[in-house]
Structure 1
Amino acid sequence: MVNLHTLVTKIKAQSATPDVLAESLKGMEGSLSNQGLVTQGMQALDPVQHSLGYLYLLEARGCAINLDVPSFVDSALPFVQVCDEQQIRAAPHKFVSLCRKMRECLQGQNQMRRAVLPLRMALAKLAPSPESLTPLHAELFQVCLLARTLNAASGVLDAEVLEIDPVRTATTARDFLLYCYYGGMVHTGRKQYARALGLFLHGLTAPTQVVNAITVATYKKYALVSLVHAGEVPPLPKYTATPVSRCLKTEAAAYQELATAYGKPAAGLQRVAAQHQAVFAEDGNTGLVKLALAAHAMRAIQRLTQTYMTLPLAAIAAEAGLASAAEAEHYLLRMVDAGDIFAQIDAGPDMVRFLEDPEAYDSAAAVARIDDAVQRSMALSQRLQAAHRAVAADRAYLTKHMARERHARYDDTGDVGGESQIAPYPFF
Structure 2
Amino acid sequence: MPEFTNKPAAGPPPPSNTAPEQPGNEQPTAAQQPAPAQTSTKASASASSSAPPSHAHPAFPPAPPLNKLPTTETDIISLLNLPPRQILSTTIPLLAKVADGKPFEGANLKPIERKKMGENILTLYSMGDNLYGIDDEVLKNAAGALVFILSSRMYLGKKEPTVYNDRMFEFSITVCALAEPAALHAAPSRVGFFAWELLRLAQHLDRVNEALSALAILVEKLAYRNTFSATFGALLEACLLTRKYDHAPYVLDQIFLDVTTCAPKYLDFLTYYHHAGTVAVALGDFKLAKRHFVMAVTLPTHTASAIQIACAKRAILCELITTGKKLSLPKYTPVAVSRVLDKSMVPYNELAKEYDGRNWKNARKAAAHPDFEKDCNRGLADLALNNIYRHMILRRRSTYSRLTVEQLVDRMRVSGEAPNVEEVMYTLDGMVRSGEIEATLTPSPSNPESNAEAIINFSTASKTWITSESLEELHRANQLSVLFEKELVKGGQALGTSKGYLQKAAQSSDLSGKKGTNKGAEFDQLMDAEDSEDPRASSGSRQKRNGVRGVGGNLGDMGF
Q: TM tier, shorter chain?
A: 0.7 to 0.9
Sort the Cα spacing of 1:200 and 1:39 in 2 relative to 1 into closer, same or farther, 3 A. Answer: same
Aligned to 2:127: 37
Amino acid at match of 1:310: T
The answer for the alignment partner of 1:150 in structure 2 is 245
* TM-score normalised by the chain length of structure 1: 0.81
CA–CA separation in structure 2 for the residues paired with 1:204 and 1:405: 33
Distance 1:331 1:223 in 2: 22
SS at match of 1:238: coil
Could you tell me how far apart the structure 2 residues matched to 1:340 and 1:352 are?
A: 21
Query: Which structure 2 residues correspond to residues 167-186 of structure 1 after superposition, within 5 A?
Result: 168-186=261-279
1:135 aligns with 2:204: no
Structure 2 CA distance for partners of 1:284 and 1:109, relative to 1, 3 Å:
farther
Whether 2:81 is the aligned partner of 1:12: answer yes
- Whether the 8 Å contact between 1:301 and 1:316 is mirrored in structure 2 is no
Higher normalized helix content (fraction of residues): 1
By relative contact order (CA 8 Å, sep 6+), the higher-ranking structure is: 1
Q: Which segment drifts farther, 149-158 or 236-245?
A: 149-158
CA distance in 1, matches of 2:332, 2:164: 48
Counterparts of residues 107-122 of structure 1 (less than 5 Å): 107-122=203-218
Q: Deviations over 1:280-305 (max 9, x none)?
A: 11211111111111112211133334
RMSD over aligned CA atoms reads 3.3
Instruction: Provide TM-score, normalisation by structure 2.
Output: 0.63
2:455 aligned to which of 348, 353, 357: 353
Shift of 1:252: 1.9
Structure-to-structure mapping, 1:372-391, within 5 angstroms? 373-391=473-491
Find 1:50's aligned residue among 126, 139, 142. Answer: 142
Distance 2:91 2:411 in 1: 72
Identity of aligned residues (%): 21
Q: Which amino acid aligns with 1:226?
A: E
CA contact (8 A) 2:123 2:150 kept: no
- The offset of 1:108, in angstroms, is 3.5
**Match for residue 188 of structure 2?**
92
Query: What secondary structure, in the 3-state scheme, does the structure 1 residue paired with 2:139 have?
Result: coil
Distance 1:103 1:322, change over 3 A: farther
> In 2 relative to 1, CA 372–114 (structure 1 residues): closer, same or farther, beyond 3 Å?
closer
Larger Rg: 2
Name the aligned partner's letter for residue 365 of structure 2. R
Q: Where does residue 411 of structure 1 map in the other structure? A: none
Q: 1:401 to 1:221 in 2, by over 3 A?
A: farther
Partner of 1:425: none
CA shift digits 1:5-24 (9 cap, x unpaired):
x5433311264222421354
How do 1:133-282 residues align onto structure 2 when only pairs under 5 Å count?
133-165=228-260, 168-262=261-355, 263-274=357-368, 276=369, 278-282=370-374
Secondary structure of the residue aligned to 1:176 is helix
Checking the alignment, whether the CA contact within 8 Å between 2:229 and 2:264 is kept in structure 1 is yes
- 1:20 counterpart letter in structure 2: T
Contact 2:191 2:231 in 1 (8 A): no
1:302 alignment partner, SS class: helix
- Residue 22 (structure 1) aligns with: 92
Report the Cα distance in structure 1 between the residues aligned to 2:497 and 2:204, rounded to whole angstroms.
Answer: 44
1:206 to partner: Cα distance = 2.1
1:246-325 equivalences under 5 Å are 246-262=339-355, 263-274=357-368, 276=369, 278-305=370-397, 306-307=399-400, 309-312=403-406, 315=410, 318-319=413-414, 322=418, 324-325=420-421
Task: Give 1:391's aligned amino acid.
Answer: G
The number of residue pairs the alignment matches comes to 398
